[in-house]
Every structure is written in structure tokens, then in C-alpha cells.
Structure 1
Amino acid sequence: MPKMIFINLPVVNLEVSIAFYESIGFTNNKNFTDDTAACMVWSESINVMLLTHEKWKTFTARPIPPTTSSEVLLALSFESRDDVDRINEIAAQNGGVADINPVQDLGFMYNRNITDLDGHVWEIMWMDPAAFPAES
């Protein structure tokens, strides 16, 4: 089996969260989706598990942080700067919050940060490694 990552996130409304993640480019793996959890696929090796609060509590007794706090900032890469701008807009149109942090434009890298409906922070980014500044 190849190495994979499964990011688990607690969500208040599973159905609305599935629609949000589909709107920004994830696909739902229905084989691992039920009324308590949904597997949202980003790539062959990256999956986000959306878990109802009840399901989340079967994995850990630690409290779910409020939507105003940040425990992690997760980054998703896109093909172009235009894609970053488009996803930022789509996130806002689907219940997320756009540009929760200042836009970062370093020329070779461009990113904008969004949150999903539950306050999970995502860095939507594009990078051109060939344009990375040479060290002097």
C-alpha cells in the first residue's frame, strides 16, 4: 500500500461540508462515507475525513476547538494563480471565509487563505519552483 495521509476534521453539518469541499475540488469517496463521516479525496494519497462531532468523539476525548481558533494550517496546491483566486471566490460563495490572512505574493509563490464552514484554515497556493530566487 502506498503512503497516504488522512486528515480528520470535525464538522457541524456533514452534508453542507461535503458540498463545500466538492466546490473547491475534492471528490467524495462514497465507499467511506455514511451519515457520520465522509471521505473527501484530494489526490491518490491525500484524503480529508469529515467527521460529525459525535463521530469525532469516538476517536478522542479532547475537546473540539472553537471555530475562532487555529490548530493547523493545511495547504492545497493548484495549477495557477488564477486557480488560487477562483477557489478563494468559490469558498466564499459556499459558506467559507475568504482571505482570513493577508494575501501572500512572492512572485514564485502566491497564496490566499480560506476557512471552511467549521473554521478549518486552508492555504490555497500556487508555486513555480523554477522561478524560485537563486541564493546569492
Structure 2
Amino acid sequence: MKKEIIFNLAVKDLDKSKAFFAALGFSFNPQFSGEHSVFMNIVDGIHAMLLTESFFKSLIDKPLAQAKEANEVIICLSCESREEVDSLIAKAVAAGGRTPHPPEDHGFMYDQGFEDIDGHLWNLVWVAPQA
């Protein structure tokens, strides 16, 4: 069986979150989506379930962290080029996200992060093949 990564994110407005991530070029699988959740394809083998806050809360036995106030994780995605990093950042900002810091260029590595409309932090990174 092929291993895949599927992580769950609580969102305030499922339709707005779906539109935000669609603007970044992510696709969705209606077969695994419903009224309270959307299965988002990021890349082959990596997916996210966007869950309404109420549904997410029904799956846990402790308080739900508010990502705009505190963060537990930064989701990091590798990119194939610096241009891909910049393109995805521009799409995220145009769709309502924000950049918490400027890009970092280390020569062999280039990265920048964005905060999605629910406050979840994403980092996009390109690493030179020879690094």
C-alpha cells in the first residue's frame, strides 16, 4: 500500500477556504468531501482535509487552537524553483492570505511563508539540487 500524508485543518468557512486554496492551484476530491469537510489534493501523496471548526471539535477531546492567535505547526512544502515559491506566495496574498516575513535567500535555499485565511502557517521552500 502506498503511504500518503493527510493532515486535518480546522476552518471557519469551508467555501471560503476552498476558494482560497483553489486560487493556489490545489484540487479537491468530491468523493471524500461532504457538508463539513473537503478533501484537498496538494501534490501526489500529500493531502489535507479542511474541516469546519464544529466538525473538527467533534473529533478531539481538548480545546481547538485558534490559528490566528497561536500556532502548533508550520506546514512546509517543497517547490521546484524559486519562481514557484514566488508564484504561490503571490497567489496566496491575492486570495486573502498574508506573508508574515520577507523571503529568505540563502543561495542554496530560498523560502517564504504565508498565512492562510484561517491563520495556518505554510512555508514554501526551494533547495538547489546540488545542496
Does TM, normalized by the shorter one, top 0.5? yes
1:30 CA drift (Å): 0.9
Alignment partners' CA distance in 1, 2:62 and 2:8 = 14
- Give the letter aligned to residue 6 of structure 1: I
- Structure 2 residue aligned with 1:97: 98
- How far apart, CA to CA, are the structure 1 residues paired with 2:61 and 2:21? 26
Q: Distance in 2 between matches of 1:68 and 1:129?
A: 36
Moved over 4 A (4+): none
> Is there any run of 5+ residues in structure 2 with no aligned partner, and where?
none
1:1-136 residue pairs with structure 2 within 5 A?
1-66=1-66, 67-98=68-99, 100-130=100-130, 132=131
CA RMSD of aligned residues (A): 1.2
Q: Which moved more, 1:18-27 or 1:49-58?
A: 18-27
Deviation for aligned residue 1:94: 0.6
Rounded Cα–Cα distance in structure 2 between residues aligned with 1:25 and 1:112: 18
TM value normalised by structure 1: 0.89
Of structures 1 and 2, the larger Rg is shown by: 1
Relative to the length of structure 2, the TM-score reads 0.93
Number of aligned residues: 130
Consecutive unaligned residues in structure 1, runs of 5 or more: none
CA distance in 2, matches of 1:102, 1:92: 13
Query: Per-residue deviation at 1:101?
Result: 2.8
